[in-house]
């Protein structure tokens, strides 16, 4: 695996002024954060703004460049950054730049249908553990095979949306026409092949656009194609080793795995670029009269396998909520920091128009636990106080077992947020999974502890029936 630079290697290439413009106390602190990959080089503004640091900038950019380079698609706050990967295995450090999901938009859609599909893509969202799961971009497909229709659809797309766009056609003339129309939006060009690299490469060079190198079935051909594109001055490259439909999934997964292993383990620069996968290819096998739900799930299966096996951008067709949820859940979980629990801030939360008679509950600050409990309290329609105890991101059962959720910690949290001053009772509802510390919590805190449901889905009924008030 490529050796990641340490702070002592990074520090000499920084300005050394300790100006604090990066937000850190000094340049050594910034170098340490750089080595941990928790800050970006661009935060050191003097390096980029002062010409006297030009040589240092060139050297440090090479030093900290990840084995898999980062490519940006689109402009503005919605731009999609893909690649930038440092490790092969998530628990070696962490993964960066979650896989981007692009949904196809045929250029043959009429005005209303085009607007409706764009709206559906942008509005697809689901709240999961306190974050909004969403899609990331649009892949305009040149179904018409007509350069003018393709360019017109591209222009209409950027009028209706500020999201990143991929222009999809193997016809260089179509790509050239559409790129001329929307080059300022930095679309991704799909694709340069072994036969069209000169023409498509010139389009990308002329407009300074990222492009896809497409050489299915042969990593040698893919490497050769990348080498040729680099030789003409291109470096914003995305790799497509090919996505086979249905029966060829094993071969596809193997190809994507080899690409990423080659870049990180073998330090092969020609394959050190983000990858694109096209689970949409499963729809090529769809036949009228078949159940489309089966093809949707084939797309999910293919997408899931390739998210796990290093695809940085995925092109999908289905906009179905229930088939896109598994892939967005998978992405969300895979791209969390393995050494940093997904946690919320400890504190006292209020639900509804709380008053002195409102019930008081407690839970841990593990995000999944907290947001599940939050949802169930809201479903109950009751007012309630919820004390969120800092358990270092552990769930209730794990925190009790690991002594991160103790009677003393619960009592300290009640005291810290002065909960007793907000209600005219001293009854505390404990999670069912924390029943074993309920007696001790009563002794330490001075509150009467009622053991609530073992599963938070029982909270609505528990609150609605006022069971916590029972003697």
- Find the distance separating the first CA and the last CA of the chain, reported in whole Å: 63
User: CA-to-CA distance for 441 and 416, rounded, in angstroms?
Assistant: 16
**Range with the poorest average pLDDT among 60-69, 98-107, 183-192, 271-280:** 60-69
Between 138-147, 241-250, 369-378, the lowest mean confidence (pLDDT) is in 241-250
pLDDT at 229 over 60: yes
pLDDT tens digits, residue range 435-466? Answer: 999 999 999 999 999 999 999 999 999 999 98
Q: Residue ranges of the domains in the chain?
A: 7-64, 70-334, 347-469
Determine the pLDDT at residue 289.
63
| pLDDT (0 to 100) of residue 471 | 67
- Give the pair of three-digit tokens for residue 457: 């889905």
Residue 100 in contact with residue 84, Cβ under 8 Å?
no
Q: Which residues contact 207 (CB under 8 A, 6 or more apart)?
A: 179, 180, 183
- Domain spanning 347-469, CATH architecture: 3-Layer(aba) Sandwich (3.40)
pLDDT classification of 312: cutoffs 50, 70, 90 = very high
Q: In this model, does residue 291 exceed pLDDT 90? A: no
Q: What is the mean pLDDT of residues 416-429?
A: 96
In this structure, the dihedral spanned by the alpha carbons of residues 18, 37, 222 and 198, taken in order and rounded to 10 degrees, is: -30
Is the distance from CB of 67 to CB of 85 less than 8 angstroms? yes
Nearest to 293 by CA among 283, 279, 284, 305: 283
Alpha-carbon distance 113 to 116, whole Å? 5
pLDDT digits 0-9 by tens, 317-356: 999 999 999 999 999 999 988 877 788 999 999 999 999 9
Question: What is the predicted pLDDT for the residue at 2?
Answer: 58
The confidence score (pLDDT) of residue 128 equals 82
∠ Cα 275 278 280 (to 5°):
165
The mean pLDDT of the chain is 93
What is residue 354's three-state secondary structure? coil
Residues in the chain, how many? 471
pTM passes above 0.85: no
Query: Do 7 and 39 meet the contact criterion of CB atoms below 8 Å apart?
Result: no
Mean pLDDT of 401-428: 96
Percent of the chain past pLDDT 70, that is, above it, reads 98
pLDDT digits (tens, 9 = 90+) for 24-55: 999 999 999 888 888 889 899 999 999 999 99
User: What are 384's strand-pairing partners?
Assistant: 351
- pLDDT bracket for residue 290 (50, 70, 90): low
- Cα–Cα dist 228/237, whole Å: 11
Q: Which CATH superfamily is domain 70-334 in?
A: Dihydropteroate synthase-like (3.20.20.20)
CB burial of residue 68 (10 Å; 0-12, 13-18, 19+): buried
Rounded Cα distance, 94 and 53, in Å: 30
How much is the average pLDDT of 85-97? 89
Burial of 398 (0-12, 13-18, 19+ CB in 10 A): middle
Of the pLDDT bands very low, low, confident and very high (cuts 50, 70, 90), residue 62 is confident
Report the alpha-carbon distance of residue 328 to residue 169 in Å, rounded.
27
Which CATH superfamily includes the segment(s) 7-64?
Electron transport complex subunit B, putative Fe-S cluster (1.10.15.40)
Residue 67: predicted pLDDT: 93
**pLDDT (average), residues 160-187:** 98
CA distance 2 to 267: 6
């Amino acid at each position: 695996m490529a050796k990641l630079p340490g702070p002592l290697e990074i520090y000499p290439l920084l300005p050394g002024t300790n100006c604090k413009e990066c937000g850190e106390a000094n340049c050594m602190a910034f170098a340490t954060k750089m080595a941990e990959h928790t800050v970006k080089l661009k935060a050191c503004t003097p390096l980029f703004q002062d010409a006297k640091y030009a040589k240092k900038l060139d050297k440090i950019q090479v030093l900290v460049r990840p084995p898999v380079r980062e490519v940006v698609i689109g402009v503005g706050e919605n731009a999609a950054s893909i690649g930038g990967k440092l490790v092969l295995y998530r628990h070696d450090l962490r993964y960066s730049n979650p896989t981007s999901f692009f949904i196809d938009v045929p250029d043959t859609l009429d005005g209303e249908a085009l607007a409706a599909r764009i709206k559906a893509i942008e509005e697809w969202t689901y709240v999961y553990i306190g974050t909004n799961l969403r899609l990331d971009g649009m892949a305009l497909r040149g179904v018409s095979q007509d350069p003018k229709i393709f360019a017109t659809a591209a222009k209409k797309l950027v009028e209706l949306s500020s999201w990143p766009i991929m222009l999809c056609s193997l016809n260089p003339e179509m790509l050239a026409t559409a790129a001329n129309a929307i080059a300022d939006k930095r679309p991704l060009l799909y694709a340069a092949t072994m036969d069209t690299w000169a023409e498509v490469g010139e389009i990308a060079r002329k407009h300074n656009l990222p492009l896809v190198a497409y050489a299915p079935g042969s990593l040698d051909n893919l490497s050769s194609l990348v080498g040729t594109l680099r030789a003409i001055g291109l470096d914003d490259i995305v790799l497509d080793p090919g996505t086979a439909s249905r029966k060829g999934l094993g071969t596809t997964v193997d190809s994507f795995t080899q690409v990423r292993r080659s870049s990180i383990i073998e330090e092969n620069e020609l394959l050190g670029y983000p990858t694109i996968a096209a689970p949409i290819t499963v729809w090529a096998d769809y036949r009228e009269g078949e159940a489309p739900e089966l093809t949707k799930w084939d797309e999910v299966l293919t997408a899931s396998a390739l998210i796990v096996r290093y695809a940085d951008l995925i092109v999908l067709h289905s906009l179905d909520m229930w088939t896109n949820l598994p892939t967005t859940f998978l992405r969300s979980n895979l791209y969390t920091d393995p050494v940093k629990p997904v946690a919320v801030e400890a504190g006292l939360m209020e639900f509804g128009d709380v008053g002195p008679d409102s019930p008081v509950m407690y839970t841990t600050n593990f995000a999944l636990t907290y947001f599940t409990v939050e949802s169930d309290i809201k479903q109950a329609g009751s007012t309630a106080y919820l004390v969120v105890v800092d358990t270092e991101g552990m769930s209730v059962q794990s925190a009790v077992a690991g002594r991160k959720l103790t009677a003393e910690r619960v009592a300290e949290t009640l005291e810290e947020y002065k909960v007793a001053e907000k209600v005219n009772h001293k009854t505390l509802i404990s999670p069912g999974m924390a029943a074993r510390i309920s007696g001790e919590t009563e002794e330490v805190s001075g509150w009467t502890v009622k053991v609530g449901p073992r599963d938070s889905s029982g909270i609505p009924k528990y609150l609605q029936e006022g069971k916590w008030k029972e003697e």
